[in-house]
Each structure stands twice: as structure tokens, then as C-alpha cells.
Amino acid sequence: MASVLELEQIRFLKGFFENPFRVASPLPSGRRLARTVAAQIDRMRHEPVLELGPGTGAVTAAIVERGIPESHVYAIERDADFAAHLRKRFPRLHVLEGDAFAFARALDREGYQGRFSAIVCGVPVLDKPQEGRRHLLGEALARLTPGAPFVQFSYSRKPPIDPDGLAIAQRVATVWSNIPPLHVWVYRCAGIR
């Protein structure tokens, strides 16, 4: 009988082969990467966390393990199969189907107008024009509480989104054990630490 991890890997691989431009990798995020991403979230803040592109929920699980209640996590997933899987795996999670690059629309449909204590972005951004990436970053920064992080993990050794005065970008980790290795980037509004 296959383990939960093996089933998630199969589900992710299937999603990658069906649509490689919407699923960034043939494998879900590794446990060390997920924990590194979740560690960027301040557990003491009370606002919800927004996750863009949660896939099968590897990072979502690490966020919940960090002490953020499922009911305080909004997840925007474009793939209907992944969204259905997330609803089963995390029954109290707010799973919204939609495009991460237009996340405000999904939140509007849900009726959520508040701010977030962190936004975690697992969607591939390198295949998008820099203008679209900066728009995503600007929208995200506008929905964060002051000083809260926008966390992006990427294959890029340079900031995957050029902050262009909107924010300060810092590579906080490189997770070499992930397949493939990924860099964890944190963006914060310029002038706020």
C-alpha cells in the first residue's frame, strides 16, 4: 500500500505532465523546503496567512505544523484536482479556486477584505513577464500587515521578482536537499523591517 507521501508525489507528477506550465515541478516541495518557508511566518501575528499555489499541500502542512490554525489559512489553487485534495486533507482550510496572479478576485468572491500576516507564493513566476511579477508583488504588499513577509521560493539565484523600489528582497535560504534545489526569498515593503 502506498504511503501518503507517495500518493502526493504521484498526484503532483500527474498534474505536472498534464500541464507543465501550471505546475512548476514534477515533485511537490520537500519537507525541509516547506519548513524553511513556514519558518518565515511570525506565529505571534493574528491575521490569516495566504498561500498562493499550494499544490498538494506540502508547504500548507508545514504552516499548520508551525502553529497556524487551518482556519487561519487561505489557499488559492488553480488546479481543481489539487483544490479538491486540499479540501479533504485540510477540512478547515479556506481553499479558493483561482489564479494566483489575480488572487484579489478570489478573495473578493470569498468576501475577505482583510490583511495577511504573511503571503507564501509557490507558483512559478519565472515564466511570466517581469511586469506581471511586479504587479503580483505590489498586490501582495498591499494586502500584508506592516512588516509582514511575502515569501517566494524559486529556482532563481537572483530575486525572481525585481522589487524595483516596491520592496526589499532577501534570500533567506537555499535548500540544497530539495529536488531540484530552491532558493527562499522574502520581500518586505521598502523601509519596513
User: What average pLDDT score do residues 77-104 get?
Assistant: 96
Least confident of 3-12, 81-90, 108-117, 145-154: 3-12
pTM of the prediction? 0.84
CATH code, 4-189:
3.40.50.150
* Cβ atoms 93, 86 nearer than 8 A: yes
User: What average pLDDT score do residues 86-106 get?
Assistant: 96
The residue among 39, 94, 93 whose CA lies nearest residue 67 is 39
User: What average pLDDT score do residues 60-89 get?
Assistant: 97
* Cβ atoms 51, 63 nearer than 8 A: yes
- Angstrom distance (rounded) from CA 106 to CA 38: 23
pLDDT of residue 142: 96
pLDDT of residue 178: 84
User: What average pLDDT score do residues 94-105 get?
Assistant: 96
Give the tens place of pLDDT for each residue, 103-138: 999 999 999 999 999 999 999 999 999 999 999 999
pLDDT of residue 14: 52
What DSSP character marks residue 100?
A: G
* Cβ atoms 68, 49 nearer than 8 A: yes
Query: For residue 3, what pLDDT band results from cuts at 50, 70 and 90?
Result: very low
